[in-house]
């Protein structure tokens, strides 16, 4: 009798549990799943509105945010993938992956982390209150203001807080850079560039998700994955308008040609490529035809050599860090440039390109430069370094 009562009690408990599950959803899981599905539908509608340029449809999904800022941006794709949802009553915070492509430039989507705040409206539907970069993720140009767009023959220039006239000047310089780089490097690259021009150094840092102090005095940087496949998103040349603006006409052209060289060489720039080669080669292409002499283009290195402080070795990657020692950084860039200049003069420009590609073809850093020096230039690291040191003395003597 007692055993049957225990069994009966067990059945009652199980029945109550099943009833509770049907009412509240096993601790709320079905309710959460339902909310996730509903939020994803809102994000899908938001993405469709962006692609269609449909402001009314966008407003039905939430606040206007930056919708008007990207009106001029030529978008091929735009989508969200919800990765996390935290709901508290009638409000929720969503983490999502934004994927977008710029028409005619991105062969694969750019990805960006976004954080969205949502609330339930009077009808019980989810409404986006804010859509911002996720913590640690880079801002997008349209997060910073209205984007103006200028198309060049070989370039797409997008700027926030910049006039169309100012952006047109960047496009003209980029249009000159692309054929110059192709003439030096070859034509096995996209042969067009995307240039982003924010309003300030602080905004540049926002686009890179880094402190502004990391780029003070740096005129421009190029973002992109080294060794990237052909279907990767297009590299972005991001300008620091504060530093770029104080350059003369030649300096501005050198900078954009330098950064365009990084775009062209990206697929052949790998973990095996030392910075003295990648930065030195980009400077070498940048200075071609500029008329700048070694002492003019490399004043810090010229000063060191004329004072008897000839570098013992080619610069290490650490020498290119933004540590606040501007002289050290300048000498690193100038040393790499002079090494590439020496190769072009003594072995020929074709051999310089072959050397660059041979280094990048190695799977790892160890042995990459040594192997390419022997295979392409017929020399050893010790001999090459010695020749480079003598070359510095001769050019700066």
Instruction: Please tell me whether the overall predicted TM-score, pTM, comes out greater than 0.75 for this model.
Output: yes
Q: Which of 267, 301, 322 is the last residue of a domain?
A: 267
Report the pLDDT value the prediction gives residue 44, as an integer from 0 to 100: 98
Residues 251 and 144 in one domain: yes
Task: Give Cβ neighbours of residue 122 (< 8 Å, ≥ 6 apart).
Answer: none
User: What pLDDT does 183 receive?
Assistant: 98
Q: Are 256 and 286 within one domain?
A: no
| Residues 59-117 pLDDT 10s | 999 999 999 999 999 999 999 999 999 999 999 999 999 999 999 999 999 999 999 99
Of 226, 250, 267, the domain-final residue: 267
Task: Read off the pLDDT of residues 288-304 as tens digits, 9 standing for 90 and up.
Answer: 999 999 999 999 999 99
The alpha helices in the chain, defined as continuous H runs, are 2-24, 29-52, 55-61, 164-185, 201-208, 241-244, 249-265, 275-287, 294-297, 299-306, 326-346, 349-360, 368-372, 381-396
The answer on 251 and 149 residing in a single domain is yes
Per-residue pLDDT band for 6 (boundaries 50, 70, 90) equals very low
Q: Is the pLDDT assigned to residue 152 strictly greater than 70?
A: yes
Q: Average per-residue pLDDT in the chain? A: 91
Name the more confident of 31 and 358.
358
The pLDDT confidence band at residue 224, using thresholds 50, 70 and 90, is: confident
Q: Of the candidates 137, 168, 184, which is a domain's last residue?
A: 137
Mean pLDDT, rounded, for 301-323: 93
């Amino acid at each position: 009798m007692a055993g049957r009562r225990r069994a009966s009690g067990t059945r009652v408990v199980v029945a109550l549990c099943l009833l509770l599950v049907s009412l509240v959803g096993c601790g709320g899981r079905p309710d959460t799943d339902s909310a996730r599905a509903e939020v994803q539908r809102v994000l899908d509608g938001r993405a469709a509105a962006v692609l269609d340029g449909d402001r009314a449809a966008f407003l039905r999904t939430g606040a206007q945010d930056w919708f008007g800022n990207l009106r001029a941006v030529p978008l091929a794709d735009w989508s969200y993938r919800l990765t996390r949802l935290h709901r508290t009553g009638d409000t929720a915070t969503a983490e999502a992956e934004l994927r977008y492509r710029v028409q005619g430039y991105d062969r694969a989507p750019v990805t960006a982390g976004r954080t969205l705040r949502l609330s339930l409206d009077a009808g019980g539907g989810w409404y986006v209150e804010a859509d911002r970069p996720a913590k640690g993720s880079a801002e997008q140009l349209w997060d910073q203001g209205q984007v103006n767009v200028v198309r060049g023959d070989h370039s797409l220039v997008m700027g926030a807080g910049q006039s169309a006239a100012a952006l047109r000047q960047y496009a003209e310089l980029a249009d000159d850079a692309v054929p110059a780089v192709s003439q030096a490097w070859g034509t096995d690259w996209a042969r067009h560039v995307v240039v982003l021009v924010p309003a300030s150094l602080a905004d540049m840092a926002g686009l890179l998700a880094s402190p502004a102090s990391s780029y003070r005095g740096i005129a421009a940087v190029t973002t992109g994955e080294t060794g990237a496949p052909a279907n990767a998103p297009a590299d972005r040349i991001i300008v620091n308008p504060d530093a770029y603006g104080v350059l003369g006409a030649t300096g501005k052209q050198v900078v954009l040609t330098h950064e365009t060289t990084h775009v062209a060489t990206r697929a052949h720039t790998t973990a095996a490529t030392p910075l003295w080669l990648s930065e030195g080669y980009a400077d070498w292409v940048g200075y071609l035809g500029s008329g700048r002499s070694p002492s003019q283009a490399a004043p810090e290195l010229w000063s060191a050599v004329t004072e008897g402080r000839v570098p013992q070795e080619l610069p290490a990657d650490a020498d290119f860090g933004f540590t606040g020692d501007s002289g050290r950084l300048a000498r690193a860039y100038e040393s790499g440039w002079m090494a590439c200049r020496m190769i072009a003069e003594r072995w020929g420009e074709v051999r310089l390109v072959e050397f660059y590609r041979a280094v990048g073809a190695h799977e790892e850093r160890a042995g990459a430069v040594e192997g390419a020096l022997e295979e392409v230039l017929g020399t050893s690291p010790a001999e090459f370094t010695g020749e480079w040191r003598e070359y510095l003395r001769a050019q700066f003597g």
